[in-house]
């Protein structure tokens, strides 16, 4: 009877007890809270690592669709390259990071995961260059931006202690790099066995998992709401402008090499 009352007291509120009271009930509550505080960052890291594994691995495999799509649609590879160029431009939009700070990483990642799945379902029924530009370029580009490093690293940074952020970022970025290596062979086999349209339909369920993983992220960032950063200062900061310009040059150069 005493053991059951002690366990039940651990999960009940004890507002009338001082926090510093060294009782078995308080020690039990502190142990439970300590375990919860350790599990929460691990959940964010695991969900974030799996999310970038899926999004980055899938993004790296788009080159495999070049030949089957262009042959089926009877278009040149410049059509496919233009769609990928639109995707790269939207993938690096700074607006996504701003929205994640304002609305919360969880909401942005859930929306990105659902958009990711919807774009692939639409791609499986696409038969024109216009549909390719819209679904593979605009929709998929925005979805990848919402489920990749900008959103994931921001969520992880708020969940872990400052002294553990470097190792956390290393784990998540390593998962994204491993996804580029591990996902591509599976998608190549899927295209060879089922065709590109069926492959996009199957991949819609695969990338849709990112919306489920997003529930492991924290909600809205209260710090942004209370003290919003002076974003207008970035517009006139030469260092920030040079950074954005270098990113755009990299995206165009990468797209040109991939299309060439």
pLDDT along the chain (260 residues), means of 10: 40 45 64 59 91 94 93 90 91 82 89 95 90 93 92 88 89 92 93 94 95 86 49 52 59 46
The pTM for the full model equals: 0.73
Domains of the chain: 17-259 (1.20.1250.20)
pLDDT of residue 8: 39
Q: How many beta carbons lie within 10 A of that of residue 121, not counting itself?
A: 17
**How buried is residue 196: exposed, middle or buried, by Cβ count under 10 Å (0-12/13-18/19+)?**
buried
**How buried is residue 68: exposed, middle or buried, by Cβ count under 10 Å (0-12/13-18/19+)?**
middle
To the nearest 10°, the Cα dihedral for 233, 238, 242, 244?
Answer: 10
At which residue do the structure tokens 């089922």 appear?
A: 194
pLDDT tens figures, 176-232: 999 988 999 999 999 999 999 999 999 999 999 999 999 988 876 544 444 444 454
């Amino acid at each position: 009877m005493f053991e059951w009352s002690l366990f039940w007291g651990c999960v009940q509120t004890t507002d009338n007890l001082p926090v510093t009271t060294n009782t078995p009930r308080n020690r039990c509550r502190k142990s439970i809270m300590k375990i919860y505080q350790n599990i929460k960052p691990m959940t964010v890291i695991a969900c974030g690592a799996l999310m970038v594994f899926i999004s980055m691995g899938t993004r790296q495999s788009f080159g495999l669709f070049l030949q089957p799509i262009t042959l089926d649609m009877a278009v040149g590879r410049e059509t496919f390259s233009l769609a990928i160029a639109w995707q790269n431009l939207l993938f690096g939009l700074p607006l996504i990071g701003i929205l994640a700070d304002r609305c919360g990483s969880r909401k942005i990642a859930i929306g990105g995961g659902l958009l990711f799945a919807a774009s692939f379902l639409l791609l499986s029924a696409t038969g024109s260059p216009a549909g390719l530009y819209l679904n593979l370029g605009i929709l998929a580009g925005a979805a990848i931006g919402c489920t990749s490093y900008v959103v994931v690293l921001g969520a992880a940074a708020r969940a872990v202690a400052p002294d553990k952020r470097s190792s956390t970022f290393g784990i998540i970025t390593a998962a994204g790099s491993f996804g580029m290596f591990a996902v591509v062979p599976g998608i190549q086999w899927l295209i060879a066995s089922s065709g590109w349209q069926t492959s996009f339909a199957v991949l819609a369920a695969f990338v849709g998992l990112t919306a489920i993983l997003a529930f492991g992220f924290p909600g809205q960032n209260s710090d942004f709401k209370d003290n919003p950063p002076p974003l207008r200062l970035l517009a006139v900061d030469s260092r920030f402008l040079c950074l954005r310009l270098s990113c755009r040059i990299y995206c165009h150069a990468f797209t040109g090499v991939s299309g060439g």
